[in-house]
Structure 1
Amino acid sequence: MTDLLLIDAAGVSSTVDLKPAPAYVKPTAPLRSRIAYAAAHVVPRPTADNTPGQPADIDWDATLAFRRHVWSWGLGVADAMDTAQRNMGLDAAATRELITRSAQAAREEGGALVVGVNTDHVDDEVISLDDVIDAYKEQLHFTEDAGAGVVLMASRHLARAAQSADDYLRVYREVLGAASTPVVLHWLGAAFDPSLASYFGSTDSKTASATVLEIITENAAHVSGIKMSLLDPFAEIAVRAQLPGTATMFTGDDFNYVGLIAGTGGKHSDALLGAFAALAPSASAAIQALDAGDSGEYESILGPTEDLSRQIFAAPTFYYKTGVAFMSWLNGHQDAFSMVGGLHSARSLPHLSEIVRLANRSGAFEQPELTAERWHALLRLNGIGR
């Protein structure tokens, strides 16, 4: 049996046995009991100048192959969102190309796809509310023309321009009114983006939730659901209980998704998670267990992955993308551990070592021998191990 060498922050090494890959099976029919999207990352060309401040240079073959991997497990793909490094290395031109290419791949594969619509193609930091509306509409129409579903992302421009909850109500009313099909709203908390701390008009989640619910109720024909990423399960449960029947709660809580997806009191959250990009086989197998009415098996599969996800999303949480790309590399979905904007350097070697330990423990390695080979090579590159 192969062992895995681990390293802690003090430089002390240890070993654990490398576990075999779980015998998960891809579904032969659509998943039924839960809707689940994995928010996918992008893979750069390893020889390109993907350094901080440079335009993203994407390996499109590997990037789209990863999306096909997600679809093959019965999950949907949420693309061009924060996991794809929106506002952290993925520039506007690359974002548009990603949306176009992913929409085409989704049609070819018959896979579910939603993509992020934002205002981030506008270079000016401060713009008016009217300009925010126009920027949202420009991306909205581009995405609809590409044939993809829409996630209306939280906008830094709107966060800077809005002076009150009424400003959010106005902007969302006008943008949603321009949508040709219902969209998913996106509430990203300050842990993911500190500039969004007072989004929807308040730093208090209860006050902001009232505005969110007013937006959804007022625009019910144009809103199919909301993704909440506050890392606060109680706030999500409270909003979930008040949603109209036309709207779905998609958990974006990468710390507490197991219980939120399982649900309580007849209510559950569906999923739109960056964590599921690192855990597609586990997520699929767990939902297949729910489809079979086996909640115990669901818990035994997905429960152990939550500690891994908490490590990937540890503070500063906005660097979680590094862990997602690291898992993709360890699992053989990309040839190099590299990211646009040089973001693969955003986590320390001990942090990555803990990801390895928890992924091994939770059965998240798809090709364990390859994982061990790549991880030990990375350690040797850093002067550690054999």
Structure 2
Amino acid sequence: MRLPAARLEDWLRDYYFTAEIDISSSGVHSYSMAELRAMTGLDHAEIDELVFDDGYSLGTPAVRRHIARRWGDGDPSRVMTTSGSSEAISLVLTALLRPGDEVVVVEPGYHALVAFAAGLGCATRTWRLDRARGWRPSLDELAALVSERTKAIIVNFPQNPTGVSITEAELRRLVAIAESAGPAEAAEEAAGASGAYLLFDAAFADLTYDAPPLPDISTLYERGIGFGTFSKAFGLPGLRFGWCLAPPAVLAECVRIRDYTTLHVSPLVELLALHVLRNADACLEPRMKQARANRDLVREWADAHPDLVSLVTPLGGVTAFPRLHGLADTHAFCDDLFTRRGVLVIPGSCFGAPEHIRLGFGGPAEPLAEGLDRLTGALTEWRRRPPDPAAGGDPAEDGEGHTR
């Protein structure tokens, strides 16, 4: 395997821990241990009783049952707990894919979903979201991309970084496209199954604004594999808890790989996760309320500055992906914004869309508002600077011969 640099992680590695104002994150405001205990009723005595034995390869049975009931079809044999959804994604891709397999990926998109298959030697075909359509995915374009050689389709809705999503009717058409693709393989997998695998990163499934959450793909399609995490909607990224919902035969292959790497999830992590799962709505509701209000704040900011930014209102998640007018590449601007104004955002080049930035609105409202004010000031100043071709300007867009 030869993986390219993860540009998003390279950017955050340098800036994340020293930002004065972070409006870059793709998750809601993180909870403290005290807040987690208050919401879930976990007491110190239960933690003190924990014995640090080895764990189950697929996860603690009680945890798997809760995940299966909330997101799956109720069958815990189709659940595996992991160290964040990133481990689940890497295990499943490694288990399923071989060099030369054809895989459809979505861009702009999160690097684990876009680049990992190529690192395994697969031939990737890009289902590109079009800014001119408000990032709305074209299922007709996807249908034209797949073939009898397509082994897997990897998607993420609501989507990171754009916030775009699909309807349940579109989800069912997506399943039909996957069913019609790929070779009809024999019965070494699930009996009678055919078509391409449909890998669905549902990290933002519980963060939707104008429609109810989509059903997990594993409940609609035998070769549908869903991924979930506590890192986004639950405000627990540091817990590193995730899962996948998949056919048992696929999970068995994941275990074979895990036997050489992480072995299992920590029993302490699973104890905390079990309490969160038992009280999931209590954890989700306060952060969802905050996210909804913050989305309105971001929308109002963009509407107030049409000369500086264009924004497609997110349908889910807590990231927006505004275009900054007059910049062909926002990388230098984002670096300057951090260095001189203490504000962290993500340059769109980390997602293959350099004219944009990823803006996170899942945190408290006050630093978000201050960060947006500083961003506005920086953009206004940046556009007044003399031309600098090396900085990635686009004179054709601002009408004044400036590159910013």
Under TM normalisation by the shorter chain, which class is it? 0.3 to 0.5
Query: Which structure would you say has the larger Rg?
Result: 2
Q: TM-score, normalised by structure 2?
A: 0.34
Q: TM-score, normalised by structure 1?
A: 0.35
